[in-house]
Structure 1
Amino acid sequence: MTALARFLFGRQARLRWIHLILGGALAMPYVLVGSVVVGPFTGVDNVFGSLPLQLASFALGLPLAAVTSLFPLTRPLESGVVRWLCGVEGDRLAYGPARTKGEKGRTAAWFTLHLGAGGIIAGMSLAVPPFAAALIALPFVPALRDDRTGLPGVLHHAWALALSPVAGAAMLVALAACAAGCGTLLARWAPALLGPSPEDRVATAEARAADLAVRNRLARELHDSVGHALSAVTLQASAARRVLDTDPEFVREALAAIEDTTRRTVGELDAVLGVLRDGDSPGTAPAPTLAGDLDGLLRRTRAGGLRVTATVAADPESLPPLVSREAYRIVQEGLSNALKHAGGQATAALRVDVLDDHLRITVENPLGEADTAGEALPPRPGGGHGLRGIADRARLLGGAAEAGAVEGAWRLHVRLPLRGNA
């Protein structure tokens, strides 16, 4: 019983009733236009004095409503009202105007349905409550039983007077049931008639996928550039602090390396933020590459205390630009991992070569080699995304990445195909 009462008189039912009454109000201009045709055709001056003529005017006005629904704002306005009053989720309805023939046809069908059902429910809402109220009050108000009120003569019988309050209440419940039923049907049909087309859904999915790809790329760039720089600067500052009183020359070199690292990282950060603001705009600084920036990366890493042995058996200048750029980030992250986990004054071996049309990158450092002069960085909360970023970069280029402990050392091995990435 509670569920039935909520269905008939709950907040959602009342809002949908308002939605139907608004449809009836929108239908009135079209009914007036229809009456202009029906009146002269039937020779009746007052069309609204006859229910059949009113219905005829209403029927003639609905096709005109379907034509005017082609106005571009019809679908977004109707969708907004349906979201607000009918309780339909926003992503199930379209936001923009109808463009294709199918969308325009569905919008016309919805607008006609809304005005048709709304006109009927609005008419019932105007006529039924006064009559039902008269029936309920009939046994208690003798003046209502006067012949001049126009009530049917049958209502003057004793049994009719006893049942008239029940009949009046039943009419009100029936009106509420009609309004609730029509509102429920309109809410159920709205997504099919006002919802996005399959093309819209595909376009939305593609836009979300593109946005997610951009966000993932920015996250990788920020992690690899800024994360590496902060790790290097932290170790450089830590090494300088330990020998501040005994090795001023090393302190000067460390401070110079910190200055160089931070200056370069600010430039890379500006480039990444430029992509975030304006897309891949030509005004942003170029991304670092293996060809032009490997030497500086090795110098800054060594200044942080990591003894790096680099063997480059490939010509970086001959690499495709995309491969060179991604390879730089992979080497950067590999050395950053070595800095964080092996600690200062540890060693790492970097090898870059080409085999079978694949660029191979290997970064290896002994496990637990950090000596008493060095200290590893503590693990960062939320860290651990570097290897995932390396795997993503390799996969996007059609390559593969492997990382793990091998014979007492931690080894990162990445293969990037050169063909197809020129």
Structure 2
Amino acid sequence: MVFFELALVFLSSFLLFLFSLMTWALTHYLSSPIQKIINVIRPYHLGEINDLSKISLKAEDFDGDFGQLAKTLELLSHKVQEQMKSLEVEKKKRETILDSLVEGVVSIGANKKIHYANLAAGSMLDRAPLDLENTFLSEVNEPDCEKLFLQAQECGNIVTEELRLRNKPGSFIKAIMVPMSQSKEVVMILQDYTDYYKTIEMKKDFIANASHELKTPITIIRGYSETLRDHDSLPREIVEEVTEKIVSTSNRMNRLIQDLLVLSDSESIANYNLSRENLLSLVNNCIRDVKIVYPDAEFSVEDAEGIFEVNVDRELFKLAVMNLLKNGVRYSESPAQVRVNLKKNARNIELRVSDQGRGIPKEAQEHVFDRFYTVDKSHSRKVGGSGLGLSITRTIVEKHRGNIQVESEVGKGTTFTITLTESK
């Protein structure tokens, strides 16, 4: 009886062991493909890889449910990658579009952290766009922008203001804060107003200078006129001298007014009456006209070989050339010697007007094209200059899509070079 019980216990233990072994083998068999799938998915889930690797299973597993699961996961991974690539392409497109804008665009989170800034915004704020991203608005060191941001957050409406930039002295922007509904995020749009304010300042300076230049001859004329009125018994020679002063001052004021009108016209005309002109012929005509006013002056045309044809407004461009020729005479000792050179350079034509006059100091050369600027005011008035001739010349040349430069050395002379595109 005892033997039978021991045999039964042994048999039961063996069967239990066998059952456990079979259960382990079955569990291992079933969990092996699952574990393989988990081992492949885990790095993808943790972000260590961007694409799901191929899941390798045994042939008998690959055709079953586990194989189907592996195929589904791989397909899902590929679709996710395609969507990610598509989103990346769209992101690049949006960034390209935003970077092509002249307006600055800055996306700012509710916590004042900058999420995105385009190239124009970086340029206006004097920071690289990547340096702006993930920094706080307070770090940009433009407190006015931060103040507008808080106003937009608080009121929930678009806030606009024109600001002077602290990081770029002399620069102005128009900042537009656009709040994003309930998220408290704000999109800041920046428009560069620097040129606008410079134009305003230039207009103010121009009006002030023009008023001053007109006021001076009027004051002189009034003074001499009052002298004649208050002194009836002046000697004839004094009366003639005073009258001559009034006439010469009136002529100077008339020239100034004419120059102002020409300058206004040359700046306001959008399309000139362009025609194909032989530049050499035009220059010779200008020399002939200037010789009438300055018969003692000597002019020469050099290096003028070939045909020099350009598209210009004949009358306006003659005015520009004559201004340079007259300048060469006025600021040279008599008899003045003025040399004109014509030269072809690739697709361009260069027109150089050189004199052997008093020259222009280096520090004054960058200002010679400014309105009313004169190196020597007393000499300029003596020779009848208004301070507008070179400004008019530059305006005309630039309207013809050319450029003008000056080279000069004190005591040796000055050369003005006009560059134009050759007419084909």
- TM-score, normalised via structure 1 length: 0.31
**Bigger relative CO (Cα 8 Å, ≥ 6 apart):** 1
**Larger C-alpha radius of gyration, 1 or 2?**
2
The structure where helix makes up a greater share of residues is 1
- TM-score, normalised via structure 2 length: 0.31
The structure where strand makes up a greater share of residues is 2
